[in-house]
Amino acid sequence: MKITVIGTGYVGLVVGAGLAHSGNDVICADIDSDKIRRLNEGEIPIHEPGLEPLVADNLASGRLRFTTDVPQAVRESDIIFIAVGTPPDEDGSADLAHVLAVAEQIGRHMTGERIVVTKSTVPVGTARRVREAVEAHAKHPVHVCSNPEFLKEGAAVDDFMKPDRVVLGADDPEAAAVLTELFQPFVRTGNEILVMDVPSAEITKYAANAMLATRISFMNHMAGLCEATGADVDSVRRGLGSDPRIGSSFLFPGVGYGGSCFPKDVKALIRTSRELGIEPHILEGVEAVNEAQKRTLLERVVRRFGTDLSGHVFALWGLSFKPNTDDMREAPALVTIEGLLERGGQVVAHDPVALDEARRILGNRIEYRGTNYDALAGASALLIHTEWHPYRRPDFQRMKSELAQPVIFDGRNLYSPQRMAELGFEYSCIGRPRAR
Ligand SMILES: NC(=O)c1ccc[n+]([C@@H]2O[C@H](COP(=O)([O-])OP(=O)(O)OC[C@H]3O[C@@H](n4cnc5c(N)ncnc54)[C@H](O)[C@@H]3O)[C@@H](O)[C@H]2O)c1
């Protein structure tokens, strides 16, 4: 099939490369000319395991092309995916400006009947608005479907190539049949393609992200209770997760959720609910717990070192909002860094892949080191925000000799409190009792 994916970011690039890999002719179009130039030169602008060879293979075979010429891409394809960003607007709602601008462009340039698929995460009712925006300019029929994306950054290629499920919202049976055929190669092991009406597909995406965010905030709340009572959230987590009705995934407490999806999608769902007159009590609680949790390491530092942090250097391990990605959008580490700098502290950071992204966001307000041990030199404490694998079994003696004081604030519960006490560290973690 001839396909265009408009928006070549974390989602569009993976979707385009994945669809090309199953034999389709795919054009990835984006208005960011620098990004397209780099992609055409074989450079992948984001860190995503497995993406580089997938793009290289399909570029070499000619099945995958990159362009800034959106009109031409629209003219050449039968199916057009919209995968542009939907950032939060000032009031928390999803900003649909990019989605609707693309819809209008599709309407102006389509040269025959088209299937348009919203891949971006968009509020219920958006497919209808996309259809209206296309039809305002189109001379040919259009079928607008919803196909929300469930991939996770850090495992995006695997998630797209072997999805748990494909959700297809389609009001037209023929369009549903075409898209079902398109996704068939990805569900050969029996996972389902769930065809439903368009509003249900749109809500399903928000429901999934809001449920996952809820689990995280729920566990962070439990961690607070554990800390206040001397209980161990790790035991609670195991006791809870072994109930098959609950399940064990997504029950780890930490420094709060971040990234480009959960924060904005929870906000957008709150906004949609309010517009519909349905009080979003649960979602407001989820968001409030998360906002507080993102400040937890900073508050611990202030309790330990006081409100004036001048003269103190703090080492940070991990900047990205989770491992295996360089994405720092809404990363909890940014909240800590701003708080430390405001109070006069200095920050020296390490991250296995996000240093370039951190430099882009923070410039020379903090210092960067190429190895995690180098970041520790002379620091009053180490703060851990991201559970990268190389941080899990470090050389503790070396850490102790590098740090000015053996103090660790671990936002990801990587080490045993008992072991850390035996090694002579002052170790603060999330929801587990301190060993003395
Ligand atoms: N990142 C994720 O993990 C993830 C997962 C599932 C769903 N989503 C959703 O997918 C959508 C895209 O997210 P992303 O993380 O890939 O965003 P991104 O910011 O990485 O990429 C968006 C791309 O769209 C391009 N763009 C913007 N306006 C354009 C236009 N008018 N024409 C052509 N290109 C344009 C931008 O230049 C950018 O390259 C969002 O709605 C997001 O919520 C993201």
* Catalytic status, residue 429: no
The residue whose CA has the least distance to atom 11 of ligand 1 is: 120
Q: How far is the CA of 8 from the centre of ligand 1 (A)?
A: 7
0.85 exceeded by pTM: yes
Q: What is the pLDDT of residue 360?
A: 97
Question: Are domains 2-196 and 294-428 of this chain identical in fold?
Answer: yes
Domain spans of the chain, in order of start:
2-196, 206-292, 294-428
Q: Report the C-alpha gap between 46 and 306 in whole angstroms.
A: 38
pLDDT at 302: 98
User: Which ligand 1 atom lies nearest to the CA of residue 121?
Assistant: 41
Residue nearest to atom 37 of ligand 1 (CA): 32
Are 96 and 121 spatial neighbours (Cβ–Cβ below 8 Å)? Answer: no
What is residue 190's predicted lDDT score, i.e. its pLDDT? Answer: 83
Which residue's C-alpha comes closest to atom 13 of ligand 1? Answer: 85
Q: Give the tokens for residue 236.
A: 């609670």
pLDDT 10s digits, 366-380 = 999 999 999 999 999
Superfamily of chain region 294-428? NAD(P)-binding Rossmann-like Domain (3.40.50.720)
Beta strands in 19-127 (DSSP E): 25-29, 64-67, 79-82, 114-118
Q: How many helices (H) and strands (E) does the chain have?
A: 17, 14
**Cα separation values, 91 from 40, 95, 208, 243, 264, Å:** 37, 10, 22, 39, 11
Q: For the residues 385-412, what does the mean pLDDT come to?
A: 98
N-to-C CA span, the chain: 64
User: What is the pLDDT at residue 436?
Assistant: 61
Q: What is the pLDDT of residue 6?
A: 98
Strands 346-350 and 407-410: unpaired
**Per-residue pLDDT tens for 400-413?**
999 999 999 999 99
Decide: 10 in ligand 1 pocket, CB within 6 A.
yes
- Exposure string (b/e) for 325-339, b if CB count within 10 Å is 16 or more? bbbbbbbbbbbbbeb
Distance 13 CA to ligand 1 centre (A): 9
Residue labelled with tokens 């950071």: 349
CB 96 within 8 A of CB 86: yes
pLDDT at 301: 98
**What pLDDT is stored for residue 246 in this prediction?**
98
Band the pLDDT of 57: cuts 50, 70, 90: very high
Which amino acid, one-letter code, is at 343? Answer: R
Q: Which of the four pLDDT bands, split at 50, 70 and 90, describes residue 434?
A: confident
Tokens in use for 429? 């973690």
pLDDT of 319 = 98
Nearest to 48 by CA among 3, 24, 15: 15
- Site to substitute for ligand 1 among 5, 8, 10, most atoms within 8 A of C-beta: 10
What is the homologous superfamily of the domain 206-292 according to CATH?
N-(1-d-carboxylethyl)-l-norvaline Dehydrogenase; domain 2 (1.10.1040.10)
Average pLDDT over residues 181-188: 96
Residue 153 Cβ inside 6 Å of ligand 1? The answer reads: yes
How far, in Å, is the centroid of ligand 1 from the Cα of 96?
11
Atom of ligand 1 nearest to the CA of 260: 1
Mean of the pLDDT values across residues 82-98? 94
**How many Cα atoms sit within 13 Å of 332 on the Cβ side?**
30
The answer to whether residue 60 scores a pLDDT higher than 80 is yes
Q: Map residue 198 onto helix, strand or coil.
A: helix
Strand 192-196 and strand 165-169: the pairing is: parallel
> Is residue 350 within 8 Å of residue 415, measured between CB atoms?
no
The single residue listed with the structure tokens 């520790």 is 376
CA 127 to chain centre: 23
- For the cut 80, the answer to whether the pLDDT of residue 104 exceeds it is yes
**Tokens describing residue 377:** 């030199």
Among residues 410, 407, 399, the alpha carbon closest in space to that of 432 is found at 410
Confidence tier at 294 by pLDDT (50, 70, 90): very high
Share of the chain above pLDDT 90, in %: 97
Q: Give the model's pLDDT for residue 146.
A: 98
CA of 285 to the centre of ligand 1 (A): 27
- Mean pLDDT score across all residues of the chain: 97
CATH dotted code for 2-196 = 3.40.50.720
Q: Helix, strand, or coil here: 250?
A: coil
**Which helix or strand (DSSP H or E) is residue 173 part of?**
helix 173-183
- Collapse the DSSP code of 353 into the 3-class scheme (helix H, G, I; strand E, B; otherwise coil) and give the result: coil
Pocket test for ligand 1, best of 4, 11, 32, 36 (most atoms within 8 A of CB): 11
Sequence-distant (6+) residues with CB within 8 A of 315 are 348, 349, 350, 375, 376, 379, 381, 382, 383, 403
